[in-house]
Structure formats: C-alpha cells, structure tokens
Structure 1
Amino acid sequence: MALAVTSSSAAAAAAAAKSTSFFSRIGSSSDTKVSQIGSLRILEKTHGSNGALNLPQRRYLVRPLNAKSKRNDSIVPLAATIVAPEVTEKEEEDFEQLAKNLENASPLEIMDKALEKFGSDIAIAFSGAEDVALIEYAHLTGRPYRVFSLDTGRLNPETYRLFDAVEKRYGIRIEYMFPDAVEVQGLVRTKGLFSFYEDGHQECCRIRKVRPLRRALKGLRAWITGQRKDQSPGTRSEIPVVQVDPVFEGLDGGAGSLVKWNPVANVNGNDVWNFLRTMDVPVNSLHSQGYVSIGCEPCTRPVLPGQHEREGRWWWEDAKAKECGLHKGNLKQEDGAQTNGNGNDAQANGSAAVADIFNTQNVVSLSRAGIENLAKLEDRKEPWLVVLYAPWCRFCQAMEESYVDLAENLAGSGVKVGKFRADGDEKEYAKSELGLGSFPTILFFPKHSSRPIKYPSEKRDVDSLLAFVNALR
C-alpha cells in the first residue's frame, strides 16, 4: 500500500518553505555545511587548519589555551527532559609507574608517548632557550604538536628573534600568553620597574609569568617542559620524566587534572647542546655571550667559568630559591618544614644542627650585640671586613677556604676580619639593618664612615677579596 503525506493547510506549506529558505541561506555560507537525516537537518561547522598546529592532512579540533568553561547555564533547565547517555568511567593512569617504565627511554620516545596520549590537549612550553630541543623532538615524531610561550614584556631582543626563527623553521605559530596589563601597570606604578632587586622576584614573576601560565594550562590536560635534573641540584635533582602536576590545574579542574612531561629530565646539558648542534636548529644568540639559563632581561646575566648555569638567574637572592614559580612544586620540604617563597627552610631558620665554618683565630666571631656596636660606630679605630653567612649554605662553604686565607693575609695589617651568622632569628635584622640579600654577603666597615660597603662581586677568591679591601682601606 502506498502512503501519501499531504499538507492540510497553506500555512503549513508556507512554514515548510520558510524553513527551507532558512537552511538554504545557511548552506550558502563558505564555512558551513548542511546535511539531512530524514526530516532533521544538521549543521556542521567546518574547521580550517590552525597555524599553531603542525597538521598536514587531518583536521583536529583544538581548544584555546585559555579555554573557558564548557557549561552553558541557559540549557541547564532542559537537562530534566534529556536522557543522559551511558558514560564509561575512564580508568585512571598510573603516571608514577609510567615514569618508572620510561626512566631509561630516550627523549624522542618520551615525547612520542606524550603526544600520542594527549593529542591536541598537550602543548610544549617554550622559553626561548634550549627548549628548542623539545620542538625538534616533537617535529621528529611526525605527530601534530602545539607550542606556547610566556611573553613577559621584558625578554631580551635576541629571544624575540629566536621565536621568529623557530616559527619559520618549523612552520608553526607559537601561542603567546601575556600578563594582565592592569596588574603590570599597578605593580610598576606602585613599586617601580625594578622592585624585584629590593624585595625579591616572586611578586613580579607571579604577575608576568605564573598567572599567564595558569591561564594557559587551564586549556590543556598536559604540558611539556625542558626541565633537567642537572639544571638545579637544589630544586630539580629528582624530577621524573612524567608526573601529575603538583601545582597547576588542567582543563577539567581540580588536583590531578594536569600531567607534566619532562622528556629531557635525565639528559645532561652537554648532550642537549650536542643534539642541537647536530640537528643545526636555531638557538638564542645570547648563549654565545655566556648566557646559559635565559629568562627576562633584568633578571638574567652571563655566568662565570665554573659557576652553575642557574647562578645567572636572580643572582641577588638566596641560591636555594632559583625557581620563578613555574616549577615551584620542585621546592621540597626539608627537615619537616615547608620551603617558602624566599628559599628559607628549617636550616635557614636555624633549627638544624650544622657545623660552623670560618673557624680560625684570625676571624672574629661577632654576636648580635657585637655587630650592632660595630655598625653604630662612626669613628672606628680600624676597618673591618665581615661576612654575613649561614653554615648550611653551600656557597658559604665553598668560600670558606679563601676567606680563611684572606684573614691570614690581613693578620697584622690593621684590618680586622669577622663573621656574623645571619640566618635563623638574626636574618630579619641582617636584611633590614645590614642589607643582607643572599648568603654570603660580605661587608666592609671603613674607619671613618658609619655606613658599611657591600662587596658587589660573586668572585670570592683571595685575590678578588684582597683587591676589594685594598681599594677601601
């Protein structure tokens, strides 16, 4: 039997014609397709290729780094009328075990595994230094990949030129994240352009780096960093090749929602550079000028021969706090006390028993009262050289021999050599009254001046210290 469906009124026909006209207009759009299943028309939005993705053929849906919540409150009341589909609960990945399995894997294998698992929900954090190795590894996998970078507004010109060279070399668009203009404006207007030299880098880094990074990671489920164990023995010596990020949150929100990959964690810095030279990739021209670890221009300087690469970053602060906040999960608890933003731990507060240093008859140990009296004197009979130190500080320990030798050289010369333990309960006094910035701080108290003069160099050999004393005695 044949069934015929006819319209019972002209109004129905007009409505149908109007509907057809509506969808015809939509179908004429250059980027919209209309398909029909039975009497239901479905709009399908086509997506062009994203320059930030290395996608030669297949189309991928890419969420922006600073993705907003997917919830639309306007449709929530309709939820009661919709039958929810069955959801299969996803089995949680044991990333600790995965890290063990990949412990001896090559950076290329680790990168390939990361891109395979997370697709367009993962991105490489590129700082403009040797992180270019990560981009090369990602390129070699043949998989699509994303790259983002934090433009603090205070990078070196050489870093910006490297960004451009990398984009052209790999045919990508780096996804730049910028600090909030109002927050930067407030900081600079209130405290000046270089407040971090006076009160530490944490506040500036929080505004220019950490908060933009937080926004970026909220649009991802995983990120890839260039951290290596040999970069900072104090904070990075135990980083795994993959871990649940201990600090930041990802797209789904909450603890455990973001995975952090460190493909070169187990690679020596020299091997990274051998790889870069072999592959002939563009690198920051600052490296040839003695810069190793490169950050913002005001907070980065070349390192001297024999210095560790991280000593060129925030050199005016405690050596134990060489993290800007991007990897603050690396700062560990020691002796049951939480490390704080200034790098002070249980030892810094004087609660740990550590053998004293600079123990020689030629070095006078000054008490709090002694250093206060010395600082108050306006007409000293003889000049003093005093080191503000903490016996647990490895930099103080490293200069012990040269300082003791200096004291022997100055014995009988009319210059007194002293030491003042400035950690623990004495640290606040030393910071506010003596200008303590980091350990060790060396002060020269002239004969006819009440104001001490701070030794400005990180060269702590006998000849350098002696030249400083002879210029002022």
Structure 2
Amino acid sequence: MSNKASASGPGPGPANDISAHQISLGLKRTETENRPAPMVGSFQPLDRPHRRPMTGLNYSRRQCSVKPLNAEPKRNESIVPLAATMVAPEVVEEVVVEDYEQLAKELENASPLEIMDKALEKFGDDIAIAFSGAEDVALIEYAHLTGRPFRVFSLDTGRLNPETYKFFDTVEKQYGIRIEYMFPDAVEVQGLVRSKGLFSFYEDGHQECCRVRKVRPLRRALKGLRAWITGQRKDQSPGTRSEIPVVQVDPSFEGMEGGIGSLVKWNPMANVEGHDVWNFLRAMNVPVNSLHSQGYISIGCEPCTRPVLPGQHEREGRWWWEDSKAKECGLHKGNIKEENVGKLNGNGNGAGQANGTATIPDIFDNQSVVNLSRTGIENLLKLEDRREPWLVVLYAPWCQFCQGMEGSYVELAEKLAGTGVKVGKFNADGEQKTFAQQELQLGSFPTIIFFPKHSSRPIKYPSEKRDVDSLMTFVNALR
C-alpha cells in the first residue's frame, strides 16, 4: 500500500504559480510545500485487540477470511484531508478467501506435525494452542518441533487439581514459554456460588458452572485470535467427536474480526488414536501430568474428574453422574449434531434406530441374565416380601459405558448363578426412560439397582467401579 500521492495527479508548476485547485482550497504555496503528506490507509482500528510485542520475530499479516463469510473488499475508513482524497485513488484491501473444507481434505492423511506447521505458518501470532494440562501437551511438543514461534493459553477455572497447576509450571520451564491464563469473572463465580452453593452441578448438571468458569473465559480469549489449536481426537468421545476434521471454520465462537465464520479451529490430532499419543509422549520424553499415573486419562476440574478403570472409556471419568450427552462442557459444543440429539439424550433406542438406518444390537445377552419387561420390573417394585433378591442393570444398548461394563456384569451373573441372587437387565431407554427416572432412580446409563429380599424399595449402587469384585462386594453387603 503506497503512502505517496498518485503519479497521475498534477505535477508541480513554476515556483511562483499556485494551481487553481490550491486556490480553490485556500492553500498558500508555503503550506503545500511544508505540510507532510498524509499517511493514506495507515490508521489502526481502535477496537483491534492489542498484540503482545514479539521482539525479533516477523509474522505474516496477510488477512485471510474464511469461507462462510461473504467476503467484500474493505474500504479504508480513516478520515484524511480532502486534498489527499482528490489526488489519491481509493485504497482497497485484498481479501483472500480460504476454502477450509478443501484444506481439511488435503490434510486428512497428514501427520500432526505437518498440520501444526501449516497452522502456525498461516496464522503466525494470531493463533494459539489451547492447553488443558492433560495429554494435549503433545500439541506443545509438535509446535516446538516445527521451530516456529507459538502461543499457548489455558483456562484456569479455579478448581483444578494441585497436580495440574504443578504441571503447568513444568511445561513452562521445559519449553521456555509463558502460558496465557484466562480466568472466570469473579462477580459471576461469586453469584453462582452464593445462590447455588459450591457443588450445584451434582444436582442440576454441569453446564451452568462450565459456562461461567470455562466457556465465557474461552470466548474472551478467542476474540483476540483468528485461529486456535485443540487436542480433540475422534476416539475421545464417539458420540460427539467422531467426525471432527483436522481444520474447520469454528461453528461456535468468533475471532478478532467478529461474526460467524471469523475463527478457524485446528485439530492436528483428530485422526490419532490415544495409545499413539502416549507412544509419542514417551518417545519424545515429554513431561506429563502426574494424575495420569493414578488412573486419570481425561483431566478437567477436580470435583468433576475421576480416574477410570481398565476397560472403561476415558471420558467416563468426566461428569460421571450424567448421561453421555453431557460429556462436553461447551468448549466444543459445535461437535453435537442435531441428528444425534436423539441418541445422546436417550430419547431413541440408539444411533442406528434414531436415524432409521440400522438397529443397535442388544447387550448383556446371556442365559444368566434375565431380560425384564416393563411388567416384570413393576412386579419387582410391588413385592414387599421377595423370595430372592435381585440385581438389575438399567441400560441403553447404544450407551458406550453400558457396553464397556457388559463383560464384568455377565461374569458377575455367572458367578451368582445358583446362589439365590437373581441378575437381570432392563432397557430403560426411549419411552421407558421417564418411568425409570421416577421409579427406579435412573440418573444416567448404566444405573445398577439391588432389590433386597425383605424391602420394596430398590437400593442404587453408588460407585462408578463396575468391575466384578466391586459389584460382588455390593451384593454381598446387602443380601
């Protein structure tokens, strides 16, 4: 963009002549000689976020819009003297339209390192890595390996494990960086805690707390960026992340330019499986959160995260008291598609039945497990003096957590065969869900209840430990 007057304008005349144009403006010759030329198109928008100075680093400042925007050339809106507008042509900023759907296809088989390098190359200082303190430290290692400068931010909710805070410090020292922490608004947190208490999310769902402590701070962070990098993988949550691309226009948040489509989201590890991530971390001697050695895989806030057992899915340790629909906190809510709502909220009989393309096979299919109908479970509720106690699992065939405990539950049923304890199952999905919630204490799938021999009210199994030994201890304590 040139700051000089256009060569097509009138050239200087003799020293004693003043052009008719200058006379019409009331300008003297000395004023036109001594006044510095206006810097056309050089102003900085006042609402553009202040960037951190990076001494000695050169970043590409070419503006790239994203495909969903109807990109129109921007006019320079700075106010300049009339004289300058008479001699200078209108300045139009070039807008490059990027097709990120096509780019995602091109990078589908690329390595995380290659994807990371492309992201940092394209966006320079206008992109940052979202770091949660879990295994997405791999993102920082990949960024380090590119040799390019990079930024890292993290959401400090105020309720993280002490081990996570120590891990943040270790990562900063390992890579010589400063993590840009984002904190929740103190007034909002204060209002939530004063009105509902410290642990309201156990009773009314975690969405409100996550919105205050995570989503809104994230929104503020992203308003200062044009792109961000996440550690999402397809195998992390089959219900919500199975179709994430390696790069996409963010469907939920806005970037610094404002408006839907103003932010690009990169997922370099979308196609990487969890065990390969850990192989990479071990091979590169990358520091990891000490909670991983205690059984934690997916790590969030301390009250909402538990270690998982062998055979359990990694996301089962997050918000364990809720249905699988709640396994997102809102940071990646764009992953949840409208057609999957039936599957995620348990209103259908599974993904296949919800869209009419297939039938989800039943589970816990074993001769030692009695398949209870609605009438059968109602009869159990009515009996006050049973001949034998019953252990019943309330399940949905599509639920990955129910599928994960199928082996241990069937093994338990076989061990209890002939002991006087009956083991059953009740499909509490679909039209049976409301009944199960009201009469059988269903909170999420799976729920395990025990009908004692001399009591009409069933007793709910309170633990998330669904191995054979834990379930057997529960039965033995009540029969």
Structure 2: which 5+ residue stretches go unaligned?
A: 1-13, 17-33, 45-50, 62-76
Which one-letter code corresponds to 2:257 in the other structure?
D
Unaligned runs of 5+ in 1: 4-36, 46-51, 63-75
Shift of 1:127: 0.6
Choose the corresponding residue for 1:347, options 324, 346, 349: 349
Q: Counterpart in 1 of 2:205?
A: 200
| Residues 201, 314 of structure 1: 8 Å contact kept | yes
- Over residues 14-73 of structure 1, what are the superposed CA-to-partner deviations in whole Å (9 max), with x where a residue is unaligned? xxxxxxxxxxxxxxxxxxxxxxx845799999xxxxxx96945137799xxxxxxxxxxx
Amino acid paired to 1:246: P
**Residues 395-445 of structure 1: CA deviation (Å, up to 9, x unaligned):** 334544554554455455443333322111222332243221221211002
Counterpart position of 2:159: 154
Q: Which residue of 1 aligns with 2:397?
A: 391
Q: Secondary structure at the match of 1:314?
A: coil
Match of 1:101 among 80, 101, 106: 106
Q: What does the per-residue CA deviation read over 1:181-212, in whole Å, with 9 as the maximum and x for residues that have no partner?
A: 22222322233222222333222212211121
SS of the residue 1:92 aligns to: strand
Deviation, 1:221, is 1.0
In the alignment, the residues of structure 1 paired with residue 340 and residue 284 of structure 2 have an alpha-carbon distance, to the nearest angstrom, of 45
SS in 2 for 1:387: strand
Q: By how many angstroms is 1:78 displaced? A: 6.4
SS in 1 for 2:140: helix
Matched residue of 2:341: which SS?
Answer: coil
**How far apart, CA to CA, are the structure 2 residues paired with 1:302 and 1:288?**
10
Q: Say if 1:53 and 1:173, in contact at 8 Å, map to a contact too.
A: no
The reply to whether residue 251 of structure 1 matches residue 256 of structure 2 is: yes
* Mapped partners of 1:210, 1:346: distance in 2: 29
Aligned partner (choices 261, 284, 288) of residue 279 of structure 1: 284
Instruction: Name 2:143's counterpart in structure 1.
Output: 138
Instruction: Say which of 225, 229, 232 aligns to 1:224.
Output: 229
Q: Does 1:417 align with 2:416?
A: no
Please state if 1:322 is matched with 2:327: yes
Which of 267, 275, 279 is 2:272 aligned to?
267
> Is the aligned partner of 1:303 residue 2:308?
yes
**Contact 2:347–2:429 (CA<8 Å) still a contact in 1?**
no
Say whether residues 1:171 and 2:176 are aligned partners.
yes
Deviation, structure 1 residue 240: 1.7
Give the aligned partner of residue 318 of structure 2: 313
- Provide TM-score, normalisation by structure 1: 0.77
Deviation readout 1:325-356 (Å, 9 max, x if unpaired): 211222234xx45359x644643698565444
**1:55–1:144 contact (8 Å) kept in structure 2:** no
Residue number in structure 2 paired with 1:434: 440
Check the 8 A contact 2:223/2:256 in 1, yes or no.
yes
Contact 1:365 1:418 in 2 (8 A): yes
Amino acid across the alignment from 2:165? Y
Report the more deviating stretch, 207-216 or 360-369. 360-369
Alignment partner, residue 121 of structure 1: 126
Give the SS at the match of 2:337: coil
- The question of whether the paired residues in 1 share the 8 Å contact of 2:298 and 2:318 is answered with yes
Judge conservation of contact 1:337–1:345 (CA < 8 Å) in 2. no
Structure 2 CA distance, aligned partners of 1:192 and 1:347?
Answer: 36
Matched letter for residue 243 of structure 2: E
CA distance in 2, matches of 1:281, 1:408: 44
Q: Distance in 2 between matches of 1:425 and 1:413?
A: 33
Deviates more, 1:197-206 or 1:292-301: 197-206
Q: Which moved more, 1:107-116 or 1:53-62?
A: 53-62
Give runs of aligned pairs for residues 25-104 of structure 1, distance below 5 A: 38-39=35-36, 55=54, 57-58=56-57, 85-104=90-109
The Cα of 1:377 is off from its aligned counterpart by 4.8
Alignment of 1:4-19 (within 5 A): none
Shift in Å, 1:307: 2.6
Corresponding residue SS for 2:113: helix
| 1:363–1:161 distance in 2 versus 1, CA, 3 Å | closer
Q: Distance in 2 between matches of 1:332 and 1:113?
A: 28
Is the counterpart of residue 448 in structure 1 residue 447 in structure 2? Answer: no
Aligned twin of 1:211 = 216
Query: Which residue type is aligned with residue 148 of structure 1?
Result: F
In 2, Cα distance between equivalents of 1:337 and 1:237: 12
**Rounded Cα–Cα distance in structure 2 between residues aligned with 1:165 and 1:399:** 36
In the TM superposition, what is the alpha-carbon distance from 1:391 to its structure 2 partner? 2.4
The CA RMSD measured in Å over matched residues stands at: 3.8
CA distance in structure 1 between the aligned counterparts of 2:367 and 2:177, rounded to whole angstroms: 64
Deviates more, 1:303-312 or 1:77-86: 77-86
1:361 deviation in Å? 6.4
- What is the one-letter code of the residue matched to 1:338? V
Distance in structure 2 (CA, Å) of the matches to 1:297 and 1:337: 29
Provide closer, same or farther for how the CA distance between residues 391 and 283 of structure 1 changes in structure 2, counting only shifts above 3 A.
Answer: closer
Letter in 2 for 1:451: R
Q: Which range moved further: 463-472 or 368-377?
A: 368-377
SS of the counterpart of 1:110?
helix
Matched letter for residue 419 of structure 1? K
One-letter amino acid of the structure 2 residue matched with residue 438 of structure 1: S
Q: Distance in 2 between matches of 1:292 and 1:54?
A: 36
Question: Structure 1 residues 55, 136: CA separation in 2 closer, same or farther (over 3 Å shift)?
Answer: farther
Structure-2 separation of matches of 1:343 and 1:319? 8
Q: What residue identity is the alignment partner of 2:56?
A: Q
Aligned to 2:242: 237
- The 1:460/1:172 distance shift into structure 2, 3 A limit, reads closer
Shift of residue 472, structure 1, vs aligned partner: 0.8
Q: Report what 2:117 is aligned to.
A: 112
The counterpart of 1:469, out of the listed 467, 475, 479, is 475
Question: What residue in structure 1 maps to residue 191 of structure 2?
Answer: 186
Counterpart of 2:230 in structure 1: which amino acid? Answer: T
Aligned-pair distance for 1:320? Answer: 5.1
Structure 1 residues 164, 445: closer, same or farther in 2, change over 3 A?
same
Q: 1:90 to 1:123 in 2, by over 3 A?
A: same
**Gap change, CA 1:429 and 1:324, over 3 Å in 2:** same
Q: 1:406·1:462 contact (CA, 8 Å) conserved in 2? A: yes
> TM-score, normalising length from structure 2?
0.76
Matched residue type, 1:453: I
Matching of residue 338 in structure 1 with residue 341 in structure 2:
yes
